[in-house]
Amino acid sequence: MISFKRFRTYAPILKWAALISVFFVVFFGIYFIGFLRSEPEVNLVSYNSNNGNVFNLSIPTELNFCGEDIPTNDLRIKIVLEKEFMQDQYSRSSTQLLFNKAQRWFGYIEPVLKQQGIPDDFKYLAVIESHLSNAHSHAGAAGFWQLIGNSAINYGLTVNASVDERLNVEKATRAACELIKQAYKVFKNWTLSAAAYNRGINGILRAMKDQGTRDYHQLLLNPETGTFVYRILAYKTLLSKPMHFGIKKNKLTTLPKIPYKIFPVDSSIKDLAAFAKAIGVDVYTLKAHNPWLISNALDNPGKVKFEIKVPKNTKADYSNYLLDLNPYLIVSPEPQLIVADTVQQKTPEGSIYVEAETPLEDLAKQFHVSVEDLRKWNKLDPSKLSVKSESLIVVEPKEIN
């Protein structure tokens, strides 16, 4: 037993311990009762001025396309813009790759736009159409500007079994300018002209007639055309003002063009390999730098004037340019790059090297396959969202085991 004397010694300590215990019981009791009776919290985030707090980004208050202001205060348009800007935010891991592409190719595109009287903002149309590569679609579109064969021919390009000038960046840019100029003659408006690039002039005219408005921002169009200009603006902001997305990247710098030697040709060439040898290069170099030569010969009965280009410095490393020009370069085990022989191949067969870490979703869109197929072909974990830089990835094998 505890003696009375010892109890008196510890009494002050026990007294304070009891008082502290009572205090905590009362305090937490009042807090718990208040919690039960409290009203749900009110969302104090302002949609109009603080959407960056919600989405970790904000829509620029002043947006324009070719000098035409975008009504960013319109709620419907704001929602569409946020969706497009969020998509670019999601693809941030591939931003460096896109910057590199823009630095390589804007130097080829911008002078043509200026010469043809087309506003500079249209270069971002090529970005959203192809991510600046000679891609092909299942609908038959090809090249940086994703031109359909008949349209390309109507605007002065040669497209046949041995030549596809949609894959000639500068010539395709001139053809795209002609298409845009034709639309501008009809609409007198650059925004509608951009929309017509996606849907066609007649498609936009029908929508305007049916809905009684000439304002792109008020037209109810199919989802792709209805968001087309806003997607251009998202990429324009990403590439011209990367800090808006929190990307620490200096202003885009246009790289100089590849120095080429030009060989004018106005006749047929039966054997491109023999021609390449005659001008001092191998056939790989010839076809890689002239992807518009889509067979092993140049059939030219009409004596059309073509320009075949080969680099002045054949030992320089232009591999990044070549992968943009020939996105379907096939990698053999050696590993020597072999140019796919024909543009009729709508999707790549074999494997490709990935320059920078790239989301699987972006690769799937580029090659018109599903993310699930990419995972299956490459035996990737279901949770994997991207592939690492400088990876070899199968994009469409002929046989799947």
Domain boundaries, the chain: 62-245, 258-326, 347-401
pLDDT at position 325 is: 94
Topology of the domain covering 347-401: Membrane-bound Lytic Murein Transglycosylase D; Chain A (3.10.350)
pLDDT at position 389 is: 53
pTM equals 0.68
- pLDDT under 50 in the chain at which residues? 1-2, 4, 7, 35-56, 88-90, 330-349, 390, 398-401
pLDDT at position 11 is: 60
Q: Decide if 360 contacts 371 (C-beta within 8 A).
A: yes
Q: Decide if 362 contacts 133 (C-beta within 8 A).
A: no
223's CB contacts (< 8 A; 6+ apart) are: none
pLDDT at position 373 is: 77
Q: Kindly report the number of other CB atoms within 10 A of residue 124's CB atom.
A: 24
217's CB contacts (< 8 A; 6+ apart) are: 70, 71, 74, 77, 191
Q: Decide if 288 contacts 339 (C-beta within 8 A).
A: yes
Given this chain, do its domains 62-245 and 347-401 carry the same CATH topology? no
pLDDT at position 42 is: 31
Class at the top of the CATH hierarchy for domain 62-245: mainly alpha
Q: What is the Cα–Cα distance from 97 to 91, expressed in whole angstroms?
A: 11
pLDDT at position 340 is: 36
pLDDT at position 242 is: 73
